[in-house]
């Protein structure tokens, strides 16, 4: 089934695809297509279906003999541009866009696994992903084992003959633990399994899991790909043959990306590299400042020398990323007092926005996790997570001055 269905591959697009452009250039230039009007920005194709010149052409499109668009649940030119741009950035052959990050994970499993297959996932993954694996997919016969992100022996011990996928996020949220992607890829491949990496926190601007041996990349485009907190979307990336069933699930079941959202993400990807650099610079400076404050017991940030996996993080990532977490002295009461004292930083659990956000994981994102499980995971009642935005870092420090 044809997937690369943008109307035509223009001369300049071909040039960019054929040359090894730097990532910044790919972010701005890769994937763009233009209509006969000659617009410089990309068009939003808000149409549910596409017309044909003749009955014969319709038959050829449906039969797959002629590439081209049929219906926007299958392909849409704006969505195709987004897919091609993100694939160029992640260095993968193929990308399918989805309606959200969660539907990307669902489509990945629906496409690559069957009832009775086994998945090993890190315990430190996005809370809703834990629910999807542990509550929903389990009812459909998927076997799931949760293990430590950072202990490769636990992954080896959890292997079964029917293990199909390894699923990780690195760095993890909210504690910013880092795993060795290349090492996990080796363990997975030796056992005949695939390594899936949710690369949402780093984005391809900071981390390229494919280069480290991962097989499939997941994105919540809602986060840094948008970068300004506007739209929900997601993507699954990897080799074309491997992901054909993932695309097949999406075009049949329907959680595909809207053309409007794809356009927002296309614009987001143009500025991804400069934004991620600025997020990381702000986050590192804020993390260093937090380490000096009397009200702070411990700071978690992969860019800090004090991070237990600092060396691995700096080998694997271009910089530390935007998320900084820390334990305040005085537990939940002190944590809530800090949140309530902010006048600028947004109190919300979202991340990936130009606006800095602050959250108390124990009472929000992780409130449904049992007290014991939270303690085992290291999420204390005094833990605060900040997704550092693009405001001036001095103004962020001023908003957190109660910690001094």
Ligand X SMILES: *Cc1c(COP(=O)(O)O)cnc(C)c1O
CB-nearer residue toward ligand X: 69 or 103: 103
Report the distance separating Cα 111 and Cα 218, nearest Å. Answer: 13
| Residue 61 binds to ligand X (criterion: CB under 6 A) | no
Q: How far is the CB of 330 from ligand X (least distance, A)?
A: 28
Q: How far is the CB of 29 from ligand X (least distance, A)?
A: 26
Q: How far is the CB of 172 from ligand X (least distance, A)?
A: 9
CB-nearer residue toward ligand X: 5 or 362: 362
Q: Which H/E stretch holds residue 221?
A: none
User: Which of 43, 17, 68 lies closest to 259, judged by CA?
Assistant: 43
- Which residues between 177 and 236 bind ligand X (CB under 6 A)? 198, 200-201, 220, 222-223, 232, 234
- Which residues between 262 and 301 bind ligand X (CB under 6 A)? none
| Residue 126 binds to ligand X (criterion: CB under 6 A) | yes
With CB atoms as reference, the residue minimizing the distance to ligand X is 101
Cβ(384)–Cβ(338) under 8 Å? yes
Give the Cβ contact number of residue 40 at 10 Å.
6
Report the distance separating Cα 307 and Cα 320, nearest Å. Answer: 10
Report the distance separating Cα 175 and Cα 168, nearest Å. Answer: 14
Q: How far is the CB of 2 from ligand X (least distance, A)?
A: 27
Can you list the positions of beta strands (E) in 2-98? 94-98
x-or-dash string of contact with ligand X, 129-158, rule CB under 6 A:
x-----------------------------
Beta bridge partners of 325: 300, 385
Between strands 143-147 and 194-198, the pairing is: unpaired
Output the DSSP codes for 145-166: EEE-SS-HHHHHHH--TTEEEE
Single residue of 33, 169, 226, 327 touching ligand X by CB under 6 A: 169
| Residue 256 binds to ligand X (criterion: CB under 6 A) | no
Chain centroid offset of residue 275 CA: 15
- Which residues between 93 and 122 bind ligand X (CB under 6 A)? 100-102
Q: How far is the CB of 219 from ligand X (least distance, A)?
A: 8
- Which residues between 234 and 253 bind ligand X (CB under 6 A)? 234
Report the distance separating Cα 316 and Cα 311, nearest Å. Answer: 9
CB-nearer residue toward ligand X: 75 or 220: 220
CB-nearer residue toward ligand X: 168 or 328: 168
The footprint of ligand X (CB under 6 A) covers 100-102, 126, 129, 169, 173, 198, 200-201, 220, 222-223, 232, 234
């Amino acid at each position: 089934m044809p997937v690369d269905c943008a109307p035509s591959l223009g001369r300049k697009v071909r040039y960019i695809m054929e040359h090894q452009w730097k990532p910044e250039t790919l972010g701005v230039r890769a994937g763009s297509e233009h209509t006969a009007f000659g617009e410089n920005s990309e068009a939003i194709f808000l149409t549910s279906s596409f017309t044909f010149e003749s009955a014969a052409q319709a038959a050829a499109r449906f039969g797959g003999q002629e590439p081209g668009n049929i219906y926007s649940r299958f392909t849409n030119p704006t969505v195709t541009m987004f897919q091609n741009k993100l694939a160029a950035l992640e260095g993968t052959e193929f990308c399918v866009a989805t309606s959200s990050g969660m539907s990307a994970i669902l489509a990945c499993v629906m496409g690559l696994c069957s009832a009775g297959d086994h998945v090993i996932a890190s315990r430190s993954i996005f809370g809703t992903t834990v629910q999807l694996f542990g509550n929903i997919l389990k009812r459909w016969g998927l076997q799931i084992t949760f293990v430590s992100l950072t202990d490769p022996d636990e992954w080896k011990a959890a292997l079964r003959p029917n293990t199909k996928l390894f699923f990780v996020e690195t760095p993890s949220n909210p504690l910013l633990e880092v795993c060795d992607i290349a090492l996990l890829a080796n363990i997975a491949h030796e056992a005949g399994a695939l390594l899936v990496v949710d690369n949402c926190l780093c984005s391809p601007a900071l981390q390229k899991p494919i280069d480290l041996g991962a097989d499939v990349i997941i994105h919540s485009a809602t986060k840094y790909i948008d970068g300004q907190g506007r739209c929900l979307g997601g993507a699954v990336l990897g080799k074309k043959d491997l992901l054909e069933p993932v695309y097949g699930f999406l075009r049949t079941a329907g959680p595909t990306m809207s053309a409007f959202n794809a356009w927002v993400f296309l614009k987001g990807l143009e500025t991804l590299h400069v934004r991620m650099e600025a997020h990381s610079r702000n986050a590192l400076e804020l993390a260093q400042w937090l380490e000096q404050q009397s009200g702070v017991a411990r700071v978690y940030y992969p860019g800090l020398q004090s991070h237990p996996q600092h060396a691995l993080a700096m080998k694997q990532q271009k910089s530390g990323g935007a998320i900084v977490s820390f334990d305040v002295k005085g537990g939940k009461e002190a944590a809530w007092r800090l949140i309530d004292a902010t006048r600028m930083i947004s109190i919300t659990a979202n991340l990936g926005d130009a606006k800095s956000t602050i959250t108390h994981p124990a009472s929000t994102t992780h409130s449904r996790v049992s007290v014991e499980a939270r303690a085992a995971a290291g999420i204390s009642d005094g833990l605060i997570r900040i997704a550092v935005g693009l405001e001036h870092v001095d103004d962020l420090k001023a908003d957190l001055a109660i910690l001094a």
